[in-house]
Amino acid sequence: MIFGPEYERNQLAYRSLKPTIDQTYPKGRFIAIHEGKVVADAADLEGLRQTVLAQGKDPMKALAVQAGDETPDHIDILTQELGR
């Protein structure tokens, strides 16, 4: 999948909105970010998709995240040569 400017915009927005999202929504709640703004929330992904569609927005141009998600943005992988 090739990520376009919408994806990048929503990712940047998520980084700045994450603390507010985590304080506003219950942990595990799904949140949609579209055009850099929170536009919907739902208990599950299908409900989120339906809510975004009902607003006339394309769910494929929205970023879905979960409130309280502690997955790191990146992971450093350390390797060790075999035999040392």
Helical spans, DSSP H, in the chain: 5-24, 45-54
Query: In tens digits, what is the pLDDT along the chain, a chain of 84 residues?
Result: 557 888 999 999 999 999 999 999 999 999 999 999 999 999 999 999 999 999 999 999 999 999 999 887 666 666 555 555
Q: Tell me, what's the pLDDT at 71?
A: 82
For the chain, domain boundaries = 1-7+29-70
How would you class 33 by CB atoms within 10 Å of its CB: exposed for 0-12, middle for 13-18, buried for 19 or more? Answer: buried
Q: Tell me, what's the pLDDT at 10?
A: 96
Q: Cα torsion for 47, 65, 11, 68, to the nearest 10°?
A: 150
Q: Tell me, what's the pLDDT at 72?
A: 72
H/E run at residue 42: strand 37-42
